[in-house]
Amino acid sequence: MQLHMDKPLIVQKNGNVLLESWHVDFDQTRMELASFADLVKNPDGLHTYRITALSLWNAAATGKQLESIEGFLDQQAKFGIPQKIRDHIRDWYTRYGVFEYRLVDEQCILHATDSNLLTQLQGHSDISPLLGTRLCPNQIHIPTDNRGLLKERLMKLGYPIQDKVGFHEGEQLKFELEAKCQLRSYQIDAIEAFCQKDAGSGVLVLPCGAGKTRIGIGVMERLQCATLILTTNTTSVRQWMKEITGNTTIDPGHIGEYSGSIKQVRPITIATYQIMTHRKSTDDAYIHMGLFHERDWGLIIYDEVHLLPAPVFRMTADIQATRRLGLTATLVREDGRAEEVFSLVGPKRYDLPWRTLEQVGWIAEAHCHEVRVGLGDDGLEQYQWADSRRQGRIAAENPNKLGVLKQLLKKHENEPTLIIGQYLTQLKQIASSIGAPFIHGQMPQDERDVLYEQFRSGTNKVLVVSKVANFAVDLPEAAVALQVSGSFGSRQEEAQRLGRILRPKTGENQAYYYSIISEGTKECDYALNRQLFLVEQGYSYSIMDWKSEAGIGDDVDE
């Protein structure tokens, strides 16, 4: 084996790939590696990626070739590719496309490249009940109602189905984009990736601030059909309504809100995940799932698809003839159900790195900092004697964070700032201490909207927000985010909270993100996991030990 010690990668037998962050080709290598491998951890300058079946299938769905992947690893690996992982890469990659759904004589047919595999499926206890009549050695009829469920089960066996049956057109809705709705080049590319031949379902991954709503509207304009949009909260529902009304020729009377307070079913209907999964008790049926069949939808858009709840997954399995578009800033799911997004909503069709948009000024340049503050003697003693659950709460609500917070507010005085956290008691105390308004889940939507508008107009420069502001809240003026507590290391949450401040700014186009954590506690472990998202997107960050007398803290790592 020829050694290349000047190369940046070490490929291991278990599928891990180590990347030297100090290497001169780090940025370029990282971007290429991230197109077919997932970031796992990043300690001590060595970033660890892992090649998995799912990461390769997503790469294949975006058109990346096996030869390109192997060639890149051969070229950049110090010690070459171990034969074991080379074999795994080839096996995993080539499983994508082994099974295809095809439309033959108006029937859904499962086609296999290997007739022996079809025979094995017919003998599989979980698969055989979903199969119809075998038509020839390589094809078997699939009842329409089983189209989604078979996708799920074959995915679990390691065989993703490429769905080439196509989709029904749905109820037609003719409209145009307004002249002022000028799509950016990458937005057009994302729309093309979704609407291309043999596509029509799948996920588009773009940064917060990249205009995912505008992309969704662009797909709607291409398809010209009735559309059901599912999103995270009522604020997001109304933002979608505003964007659609302001950027298309659709009659506002054809746009309906379906939320806790309003139930309108119109050619364009926007609903929340919360209302779709509402039921009176755990034994009752989901009251509003019928919305999936209220009209002949030609398109269903899943906003923030990485948050898709389990009951909506189950319903999605039944509507595989309807085009499905997932929009997200990150495909990371904390519940491990990324495979279900792939099989039921669709594979990744487009992925745009955050730093790519930053470099051309479409989103703000982000400066990310982790600020560590001590618990103090009393707090530390309390923490050490507490059980694991209570320790997390003590660390998150560390009262010494307030002093840090006030100094950071002073440092960024007059810059629009969001203070974001997990615990209502903590946030309420902070809001009271600094005299800032506080938005939380119990606040009526109309009151929230007033406070959001005051922030946008500059009447209020600081806003304290709970988790309700994690998702789909359009606050383009926000330039600073101060995170005082979070959800146990959630990478999803980190993506959304950073995204709140990435809308492009006038002037220097700078944004600042601070995560304030308690030194020597499990918050440091949570922070390490959250940082994976930042590194995944190509951001660097500094870790700061806070010295109150210094005013701005001392950098200890960059």
**pLDDT beyond 90 at 300:** yes
Same domain, 198 and 255: yes
Summarize pLDDT for 348-406 with one digit per residue, the tens.
999 887 777 887 888 888 888 889 999 888 888 898 898 888 888 899 899 999 999 99
Same domain, 211 and 341: yes
Domain presence at residue 540: yes
**pLDDT beyond 80 at 477:** no
Asked if 480 and 411 touch (Cβ cutoff 8 Å), the reply is: no
Give the domain CATH number at 535. Answer: 3.40.50.300
Same domain, 189 and 120: no
Domain presence at residue 521: yes
Domain presence at residue 178: no
Same domain, 345 and 381: no
What DSSP state is assigned to residue 225?
B
Domain presence at residue 4: no
**pLDDT beyond 50 at 551:** no
Same domain, 338 and 375: no
Mean pLDDT, residues 166-190: 93
> What six digits make up the tokens of 300?
């269903």
CA distances to 358, 420, 464, 489 from 208, rounded to whole Å, are: 11, 17, 20, 19
Domain presence at residue 502: yes
**pLDDT beyond 90 at 494:** no
pLDDT of residue 557: 39
Same domain, 140 and 255: no
pLDDT of residue 468: 73
**pLDDT beyond 50 at 96:** yes
Summarize pLDDT for 322-333 with one digit per residue, the tens.
999 999 887 767
CA–CA separation, 116 and 118 (whole Å): 5
Burial (CB count <10 Å: 0-12, 13-18, 19+), residue 53:
buried
pLDDT tier at 307 (50, 70, 90 boundaries)?
A: confident
Q: Which residue has the higher pLDDT, 46 or 242?
A: 242
Single residue among 74, 95, 116 that ends a domain in this structure:
95
Mean pLDDT, residues 167-193: 94
Same domain, 323 and 372: no
Average pLDDT of the chain, as a whole number: 87
Q: Specify the range with the lowest mean pLDDT, choosing from 48-52, 98-102, 142-146, 533-537.
A: 533-537
pLDDT of residue 542: 79
Same domain, 147 and 235: no
Q: Which pTM value belongs to this model? A: 0.82
Number of compact structural domains in the chain: 4
Domain presence at residue 313: yes
Per the structure, the complete domain to which residue 154 belongs is given by 99-163
Same domain, 309 and 368: no
Domain presence at residue 174: no
Mean pLDDT, residues 159-175: 93
Single residue among 303, 330, 352 that ends a domain in this structure:
352
pLDDT of residue 38: 85
Summarize pLDDT for 392-433 with one digit per residue, the tens.
889 989 999 999 999 999 999 989 999 998 889 999 999 999
Long-range contacts of 110-116 (CB under 8 A, 24+ apart): 110/139, 110/140, 110/141, 110/142, 110/150, 110/161, 111/138, 111/139, 112/138, 112/139, 113/138, 114/138
Give the domain CATH number at 127. Answer: 3.30.70
**pLDDT beyond 90 at 486:** no
Asked if 278 and 259 touch (Cβ cutoff 8 Å), the reply is: no
Same domain, 238 and 297: yes
pLDDT tier at 556 (50, 70, 90 boundaries)?
A: very low
Residue 97: closest CA among 143, 145, 146, 61: 61
**pLDDT beyond 70 at 165:** yes
CA–CA separation, 556 and 143 (whole Å): 61
Single residue among 352, 378, 409 that ends a domain in this structure:
352
Domain presence at residue 411: yes
pLDDT of residue 549: 37
Q: Which residue has the higher pLDDT, 209 or 7?
A: 7
Same domain, 210 and 312: yes
Same domain, 14 and 110: no
CA–CA separation, 422 and 411 (whole Å): 24
Asked if 502 and 207 touch (Cβ cutoff 8 Å), the reply is: yes
